[in-house]
Amino acid sequence: MPSAARAFPPPADLLGEALHLLRLTGTLYCRAELTAPWGIDVPALDGLMTFQVVTAGHCWLEVDGAGPRLLRQGSLTLIPHGTPHRLRSSPQAGTEPLFGIPVEQISERYEIMRHGGGGDPAHVTYGVVRFDHVVAQRLVAQLPQVLQIDAWDDDAGWLHSTLRFISREALALRPGGETVITRLADILVIQAIRSWLDSAPEANRGWLAALRDEQVGRALTSIHRAPEREWTVAALAREAGMSRSAFSARFTGLVGEPAMRYLARWRMHLAHAHLRQTPEPLSAVARRFGYQSEAAFCRAFKRAFGMPPGDVRQAAGPAAPAGSAGRLQNCGRRS
């Protein structure tokens, strides 16, 4: 079929396709029952996103590099980049390291923390999640340092009703309650990101703007759908319905790098994630991501990550130690 006759999804659907890949893996959830005065010091959690849902009372959040902000009952806050932060009953309250506070482990991915000095209560559902797919990682990289949504400012009502449901489940913790809470919390995270995409000026720049672009977005989606194809600039330009020179200039201007460099980086990040998750032979992995030989794939991989692909598998091997710290290290590993 000639390229001019191809039926492409509209740009909004291209962004929707990227959002479809926002699948959370390796999640850990904590229901914190806190009484003033209390304070929790959360260290850097590289590669992980944390979120807080205040289901009763209130607390204060301090993220490194920013002043304290009040989190009221019915608020949802995302810290997308694993930045160190502190949660307190008041800006003056002292803090204790997160991993020094005992918890009651309900299941592999759900625990309860009871902590504080016996004063005014606050209940917080705290989550730690990872997005493994490279599409999701690229999207999350563009999120701000803190993303906060107040249920009472929610015009559509989805946040208020979902938070109310989570609060009810957290208080009762009936059989299966932890499963309900974790599934709803996953939805909250993705909905919060969608809300930011709809309203934030920053969402109209860089890679997200390119994905929304009617022409460059087609080329990006073609790469995402079939990274193994023998793409050339000319072939991607045909997907976009543009001349080669016009496409090259527009792609680089929007995405920030040339199309073939983007393709190479995209393949490498997909391959890196795939190696951590499967025992597939390197020759098959090479073919899966568009390389004609295992040797060519290994050379490209080492240029991209400074190590051969076999080292990635070894690093992903042994399980982390037990306890909260160990379970956080295990976030993202498949059971």
The pLDDT confidence band at residue 250, using thresholds 50, 70 and 90, is very high
The pLDDT of 123-145, averaged and rounded, is 82
Polymer length of the chain: 335
The pLDDT of 290-314, averaged and rounded, is 89
Cα–Cα distance between 59 and 46 in angstroms, integer?
24
pLDDT at 252 over 90: yes
Which residues, in sequence order, are CB contacts of 90 under 8 Å at separation 6+? Answer: 36, 37, 60
Q: Which pTM does this prediction carry?
A: 0.74
pLDDT at 234 over 50: yes
Q: What is the pLDDT of residues 213-226, one digit of tens each?
A: 889 999 998 998 89
Please give the pLDDT value at position 277. Answer: 82
Lowest mean per-residue pLDDT among 12-21, 64-73, 215-224, 303-312:
12-21
The pLDDT confidence band at residue 47, using thresholds 50, 70 and 90, is confident
Question: How far apart, in Å, are the Cα atoms of 65 and each of 38, 62, 68, 145?
Answer: 21, 8, 10, 10
Please give the pLDDT value at position 334. Answer: 32
pLDDT at 314 over 90: no
Please give the pLDDT value at position 322. Answer: 45
pLDDT at 317 over 60: no
Q: What is the pLDDT of residues 174-199, one digit of tens each?
A: 676 667 777 777 777 878 887 787 77
In sequence order, what DSSP letters do the residues of 159-211 get, joined into one string?
HHHHHHHHHHHHHH--TTHHHHHHHHHHHHHHHHHHHHHHH-GGGGSHHHHHH
The pLDDT confidence band at residue 333, using thresholds 50, 70 and 90, is very low
The tokens for 11 are 């740009």
Please give the pLDDT value at position 178. Answer: 67
The pLDDT confidence band at residue 122, using thresholds 50, 70 and 90, is very high
Q: DSSP assignment, residue 60? A: E
Please give the pLDDT value at position 1. Answer: 38
Cα–Cα distance between 271 and 286 in angstroms, integer?
8
Q: Average pLDDT, whole number, for the chain?
A: 82
Question: Which has more pLDDT, 168 or 40?
Answer: 40
Which residues, in sequence order, are CB contacts of 64 under 8 Å at separation 6+? Answer: 83, 84, 85
Cα–Cα distance between 242 and 250 in angstroms, integer?
10
The pLDDT of 202-229, averaged and rounded, is 87
Cα–Cα distance between 148 and 75 in angstroms, integer?
7
Cα–Cα distance between 78 and 148 in angstroms, integer?
6
pLDDT at 332 over 50: no
Cα–Cα distance between 260 and 190 in angstroms, integer?
30
The crossing angle, in degrees rounded to 10, of helices 244-255 and 233-240 is 90
Please give the pLDDT value at position 172. Answer: 66
pLDDT at 209 over 80: yes
Please give the pLDDT value at position 197. Answer: 79
Cα–Cα distance between 76 and 51 in angstroms, integer?
7
The pLDDT of 87-111, averaged and rounded, is 91
Question: Which has more pLDDT, 70 or 75?
Answer: 70
Q: What is the pLDDT of residues 2-45, one digit of tens each?
A: 444 455 555 445 666 666 666 666 678 888 999 999 999 999 99
pLDDT at 114 over 70: yes
What is the set of domains in the chain, with CATH numbers? 3-14+205-315 (1.10.10.60), 22-202 (2.60.120.280)
pLDDT at 245 over 80: yes
Please give the pLDDT value at position 321. Answer: 42
Cα–Cα distance between 71 and 122 in angstroms, integer?
11
